[in-house]
Structure formats: C-alpha cells, structure tokens
Amino acid sequence: MYRIYDLQCNNMPFPQGIDDAKPTFSWKLDSDQQDTYQVSYRLRVYLEECMVWDTGFIKSDKTFDIPYQGEKLKSGQLYFWEAESINNYGEKASSTTAKWQTGNIESRWLMKWISTGEARKEIVDCVSAEAIFAGAVKSLDKPEEVLDSPVYFRKEIGIEKEVKHAVAFATAKGIYDLQIDGQSVSHLFAPEYTSYNKHLEYQTYDVTKLLTPGRHGIGVILADGWYTGKIGLMGVGNQYGERNSFYLQIEVTYTDGTKELLGTDESFKWSYGGYRYSDLFVGEYYVQAKELTGYSKTGFDDSSWKQVVASVGGFDILQGQSITPARVVKKIVPEILCTPKGEVVLDAGANIVGFTRYEGPCEEEVEISFEHSEVLDQNGNFQQNILGQHKNQKDRILPNKTGIITYKPKFTFHGFRYVLLEGIKDPKAEDFEIWVIDGGLERTGSFVTSNEDINQLQENIYRSQQGNMLFVPTDCPQRERAGWTGDMQVYAPTATFNMDVLAFLKRWLKDMRLEQKMDGQIPNVIPAIDSNKYIDGEGQDEVSSAGWGDACVIVPYRLYQAYQSKEVLKDNFQMMCRWMDYVESKVSQEGLWDTGFHFGDWLIPSIMKATGNPMETAMKTKEEVASAMYAYTTEIMIDICNVLGEKKRAEHYLALNQKTRTSFSIKYISSDGRMRNDLQGLYVLALGMRLVDEHKRQACVRHLVNLVHENDDCLDTGFLSVPFLLETLYEEGEKELAYTLLFQKKSPSWLYAVTKGATTIWENWEAIRPDGTRTNSSYNHFAFGCVGEFMYKHIGGLEAVEAGYRKIKIAPDINCGLDWAKTSYVSRYGEISIDWDKKSGKLEVKLPPNTSGEIWWNGKTMEIGNGRYLLK
C-alpha cells in the first residue's frame, strides 16, 4: 500500500488567513514496500468548483516546498487542494482534500483604526534588574488602583440582501475579542505577539453564516496584551506604543454579485465594562455589576457610550496570521487540597500553561480569587514563586448577586500547577476546570524507554516545550514570557524532534530580521522589549550577547538540518552575514571576542550556589564563551555558505574560524590541557566546538573528567555548554561518564528534578533544594531540556546524516544501560521508527519513502534503503 498524507500548506495543516501570493505545499509518504521512491507527483487546487491550478504529472521526487503557480489567488477565500504521487513500482496514491484560507491578498485596507484616543499608563516603580533577580520586588496588592481597563467597542450594522460570502479581517494593537450577535468569532489572544511596530498580524474569519439579512451587533473588547501590557522581566507597560486600537474590515459579497465593505470607523462607540483590568501577567479583575450584557447584540442601549477616535495608516506592516493560532488543548478537573495553613488550593496535577474556569456558587459582593503558582512550599502550603513587578498571576471576580457564576478569564493566562482559592465556601472539584493552552503545533516525536525516570524527563521536556512554544518561543511562561534568543538556540535540536516548529520559528526569525540593528546586532530578546535596557544597562550601545545573538545563525541552521529547508537559510542569510560582520568588528586581531558584556555560560550551578548571583557566571566566563561561540558560528557559516553556493564567503569564514581556533587554544588552554578558568563548561565548549589542539586534547579530556568526578559525578555546566556536555564526553571516549551524568539523581542533574516530582524542566537545577526548600525560580524553562537531543540520538538511535533526515543514521547504543527504547519521529518525508530490545537482540526500523539509512548494530554497519527492516 502506498499512501500520501499530512498535506501542508506553508508548513501548516490548515493555515487560515495567509496572504502569500505563492504559498508552498508539502505532503508525506508511506509505503509497505522497501525502497520506495516517488517518481512523479500532481497537484490540483480548487476554488469553489473551479480548478485554479493543475500541475499535471511532474517527474520529480520533491514532496515539500513546492510553490503555488496557478491563477492569481483571491482574498478571503477557502482553497482546496489534492496531491497524487506515483512511485517506482507504478503505484499511485491520492490524498484526501486539504484546504487553506487566503487573507487579504491584495492588501486593500480601507477602514480605520479605532481607539479611545487615550494613552495607557506606563507605571514603572522599579527599574533595577538586580532587585528583580534578587526577588526583592513585590507585585501591587491592589492593581486596580493603577491599571487601566479593557475597552468595549460596538456598532450595529444592517444586511439587506442574501449574503454569498463574507470575510472579516481583524487585528489590534492590544489583544481583542470580536463578537457578532453575542458570538465570539476570534482566536485566543489574537493578534498574538510579534514585533508590533514592524510586523503585526491580522486574522481572517469567515463570517458568512452570521451575516443573514437583518440587523447585527458587532462588539469588541480590547485589552492591553503585549502591546501596552506589563511585559518581560521588568514588567513595564507601553513597550510598543501608548494607545491600544482595533481594526476590522468585513468584505461582503451578495448573491446578486454586488459587494459591500463594512468595518471600523468613526461610527463605532466605546465604553468601559465588566473587566476592571486585564493584564497578561497581573491577571484579570472582573466586576460583574459593570458587565455590559448584550453589548455585542442588537438593541443594546449605548447612548451613554463615547465616540471613538478613528485613524488610518500603518497598514504596510500588516501580515496575515502566519502560524497556527493558540488553542485550548486540554481541560483538567483539578484536585482540591487543604494545606496545613488551612488554605484551599487546586492542584492541576502538572505544571501547565493556561487558566482556571469556574462554574459554581458565589455570594453577592464577596470577591472570589484564583492566584496561580508553580509550587507549594516544603510544608505543603501555597508559595508564590513568581516575584517581580506586576507579576500577580491572580484572577479575581466580584459577583453582584448570590447564585451561580460562570467565569473564565479572557485576556490573561498563567504558568502554574497550583491555584490558591479565596472567596468560595466549600468549593467542589467538579466546579473547576483548568484549561491548558498551547501553540497548536503538531507533535512529531515520541520517545519511550524501559526507564521510567527517563520517560518522565522526556514528558517534562515536552510539557515545557508545549507551554513555551506559544506565540513566540519564550524562556518561561510566567515570569518573563520573552523570546530570549539564547534559550531557543540551545534547545532548537530537541524542539525540532518534539514538534513541527518550522512555521512557528520562521515567523519568529522574521521578527529577528526586522529587529536587527543597523550595525548588525541582534537584541537578546525577540520581539525586542525596550525595558530590557534595564537589564542590558541603559545607554548601552551593545544589546547582543554571544550565544544569544548567535541564535540568528544557529536557529536557521538547525531548521535546515531538521527540515531541509533551504528557504530558511536564504531568508536569513543576509541577517547572519550582517551579524557575523558585527562580531568580526568586535573581535581582536587574534580573532578572540574579548570585548563587551555577555551572559557567558549563564547559571553555572556551583557559582550560583556560592554567590546566588547569575551575573557572576557571566563575568567569570564571558570571554572564553564569546570566543568559543565565534569559532562555532564561523564554522556553521562555512556550511551554510556551501549549501547556498556562496563560495567566497565560505572561504572568508574558514580563515576566521582557523584564526580563532588557533588563538583560543593558545590563550585559554595551557600546554598540559588545562583551561585558564577551570570550569566544566569551558572544557566542554572547547572540546565540543573542536577548539583544542590535537596534542592537548587527551589532557583536556582528562581534566574535564576529573572535574566531573570531583563534583561527585555531577554536572556543573551553564546554559551554553550544557547542550554539548554529554555528547562531548560520549565522543571523547567517555560514554560511561556521559550516562552516569544522564542517570544521575543527585543535584545538579536532570533526574534530580524528576525525583523531586518535577513535571516540567526547571531554570535552576536546584529549584527545589535537597532540604526541600522551594526557591522562587521558574519551574518551566525549556533550555536544559536540550538533553533530549542526546537521548534521541544515542538511546533512541536517531540521527540525520543528511539535512531533513533524507539519509538517516540508526545507531542505538544498547549498552546505554536500558533494556529497550522505542523512538518515532515524523520527518518531512514521513514517519521514522526505531524500536530495539536488548534481551531479544531485536532492532526494528522503518524509514519513509524517498529516504535511505545506515544501520549500526551489533558491531556491524549496513546501508539500507527505506521501508521496514527487522534485525536480530
């Protein structure tokens, strides 16, 4: 059987509102025969009943990144498409029908932005990053005393004729909920988070069914979101502007062929309503008495509402939604705990991202509140682990009558496992639901072994990825939710295994390109947040750290390796070169990057333990780390240039790379293989990035091994070196030590957190100390989950030897200490699976059509085609 499945357009199963004139198509193949190759394919695209593109059968083995070349696409339409594939056995596979919806292809923007005309308050009480890092800053007890309220807009419209098709394009500076006749039509947290002043996405909704002949109410609630909300580590508002505004354009086509344009203009009115405040980090305060019941329906009395201020312009930065929208993936009925202190706390069972829904009894004027946190203290009492300015994570409801109330927040979400309840008498578990949200990315990897702790670690990695690959790749979902570039860079290979992150990271890289400074620097956080100047140091010209800015080279490269997308390299090549030129301007004659501030090997456990100050790790390691990163990125650039046929540039990077490697070894590694700075991570980087002269290498490895032993066989690596730790030991002949570290349960180690009941990856290895103390760290930081890459490669046995897993190396290490492992990964070609069992000596492999592999098993190597193979 030959099968074609998982059709994708612009790397999404069903993109809604994309406005590319030439979207790209891809599909996957499956076959029960060995050595199957596609010899030709055919694509057909339809609009309504008409075919708008038929490729005919094209002789090609291409199955992805095929651009649309049919009739000009029309705005706001649903296109259907099908693919057929013929293989080398003459079998033909036909797909089911897939679809995509176009956005405002012609970029006709004819309505107006509406707003109240008033600025939102900025409110900055603390500008000291140190004070925030030290946990010395508290959130306000009564945010309502300072925060602004979300704004309601409304208008009624009349539809006089039968509608054939109606499409709405909407967006906001802020986040919006759009309703027609009381029915919400918008996505969660639309328009999501991008580099707003350079790239703002709009959403496309098919509203044909709602616009029947007659009168209709249009209502919108507009909240601060990321645009003016209290975002980032510093929790400062107005990072992209001072005024929220909303835009709506509805294009109606009547059955008689006539058209009409409706949407936002001066005729809308505005008012405040039930939400006293609603902030992504602070939480929401809902005052029922102020609710404007029926505001989005016809007949509502808006005589006391005010006229909006309308304006035009700024349409050139609009782009159709380019990733799958956020969604609710799961609803959990929590457990109710009563703490020793007598607090009533909900337990979601795992550390998740989302919000709490309540439907149950309330009393008039008795405030109900839900405060969210990731941990209980060692005695089992509620502990708020997220400190800082405007980080309450607390939702509140003030009911205006006794009875049953139904509430879930609209414009906020939290990172939490526990919810402290107040204001509800005898709460019942079934009155609550914890709604888990995620970025709608497809799960592509699965990894299960005979070891429960490793399985839990894998689950924790996945859960942290799920909670942080939301809108943009964030460091953590509670304290900062910021697109820290270094975090994404170290985690990228693991990310591409677990989920299909291609479209998601492409969007983020677009923002990175847009945020690049004139001199080539890449801000450490993308989308850039101005209040990060309080972290970088105000007035600083340098806003890029080695290992963070380097993400502009490393992330596209990782995407290329995983997805064979040359486009990603092409799209970002100029950005990479400009960044590399910037770094080149900063390095010394010898090619060492010994200037400026860098986060270095951020958060080295021993230094953190001794000083509690993350900046110490930066200061101590920044020079070696920056130079090592430079050698590493020049090396990657050589490869990228070769892929893109940029021979001259490749030579340039080769020369730079050789110079830096030589100088690095001379300056930082003594003739007896000892690093100037005797830290595990620095050895790991030097070895892992091949910066050690051959004659010093063995000695260097010995020093690293000794350091690990001296540290009680525990790791002591920071952010940038940890992804190389196990792989370097493994490659340098220290396999056993690599596994000792992987299976280690003493702190610091990956499984230490598992033994402490972690359900996500922590920012701090000892977030829960051995004595049980819970620190106020983030318990949901995916960065250290980068160990996934090592597990999938050596325990699972999966490695791409050609970009996109076109050629696959299958080399599971059955001496890893486990009895069996099952790994599967949906590559762009289709599903790969590797299943081994030590006792029976069995290895079962399946590779998708169009790929080939090499198996390393029982000391032998064997070249294979694709299909199913069983080895004993």
Name the residues that contact ligand RAM, by CB under 6 A.
Answer: 233, 475-476, 480, 484, 486-487, 599, 602, 781, 783
- Bridge partners, 151 (sequence order): 222, 272
Whether the CB-CB separation of 53 and 44 falls below 8 Å is answered with yes
172 versus 525: smaller Cβ distance to ligand RAM:
525
Measured from the CB of residue 438, what is the shortest distance to ligand RAM in angstroms? 20
Which H/E stretch holds residue 392?
none
Tokens at 432, concatenated: 């609550």
Sign of CA dihedral 476, 517, 324, 644: negative
Measured from the CB of residue 524, what is the shortest distance to ligand RAM in angstroms? 7
Residue 405's contacts (CB-CB under 8 Å, 6 or more residues apart) are 288, 358, 359, 360, 361, 362, 368, 397, 399
| E runs forming strands in 48-136 | 50-54, 58-59, 66-67, 78-87, 92-94, 98-102, 113-115
Helices 647-668 and 614-644 sit at what angle, rounded to 10 degrees? 150
781 versus 846: smaller Cβ distance to ligand RAM:
781
Tokens at 618, concatenated: 């930066």
Radius of gyration of the chain (CA): 28
171 versus 239: smaller Cβ distance to ligand RAM:
239
Torsion of CA 785, 524, 634, 563, to 10 degrees: 50
Number of neighbours of residue 616 by Cβ within 10 angstroms: 16
Measured from the CB of residue 551, what is the shortest distance to ligand RAM in angstroms? 10
Q: What is the DSSP letter of 564?
A: -
2 versus 484: smaller Cβ distance to ligand RAM:
484
- Bridge partners, 215 (sequence order): 158
Apex 25 CA angle, 20 and 31, nearest 5? 170
Which H/E stretch holds residue 787?
none
Closest CA to 195 of 503, 509, 539: 509
Measured from the CB of residue 469, what is the shortest distance to ligand RAM in angstroms? 15
Number of neighbours of residue 512 by Cβ within 10 angstroms: 27
Measured from the CB of residue 634, what is the shortest distance to ligand RAM in angstroms? 23
Number of neighbours of residue 803 by Cβ within 10 angstroms: 20
Q: What are phi and psi of 711, to 5 degrees?
A: -90, 30
Residue 670's contacts (CB-CB under 8 Å, 6 or more residues apart) are 676, 696
Is residue 71 classed as helix, strand or coil in its secondary structure? coil
Closest CA to 642 of 629, 633, 651: 651
491 versus 829: smaller Cβ distance to ligand RAM:
491
Measured from the CB of residue 416, what is the shortest distance to ligand RAM in angstroms? 17
Measured from the CB of residue 777, what is the shortest distance to ligand RAM in angstroms? 10
195 versus 478: smaller Cβ distance to ligand RAM:
478
Match 């959403």 to its residue by tokens: 203
534 versus 739: smaller Cβ distance to ligand RAM:
534
Active site residue 480: yes
Distance CA 109, CA 654 (A): 48
Measured from the CB of residue 475, what is the shortest distance to ligand RAM in angstroms? 4
Q: How far is CA 759 from the centre of its chain?
A: 18
Match 């080149």 to its residue by tokens: 584
Measured from the CB of residue 233, what is the shortest distance to ligand RAM in angstroms? 5
Q: Kindly name the residue from 192, 201, 433, 480 that is annotated as catalytic.
A: 480
Q: Kindly name the residue from 763, 766, 789, 799 that is annotated as catalytic.
A: 763
Measured from the CB of residue 548, what is the shortest distance to ligand RAM in angstroms? 7
534 versus 730: smaller Cβ distance to ligand RAM:
534
602 versus 724: smaller Cβ distance to ligand RAM:
602
Is residue 421 classed as helix, strand or coil in its secondary structure? strand
487 versus 727: smaller Cβ distance to ligand RAM:
487
Whether the CB-CB separation of 196 and 246 falls below 8 Å is answered with no
Residue 831 burial (CB < 10 Å; 0-12/13-18/19+)?
Answer: middle
Closest CA to 478 of 488, 486, 468, 469: 468
Active site residue 156: no
Catalytic residues: 480, 763
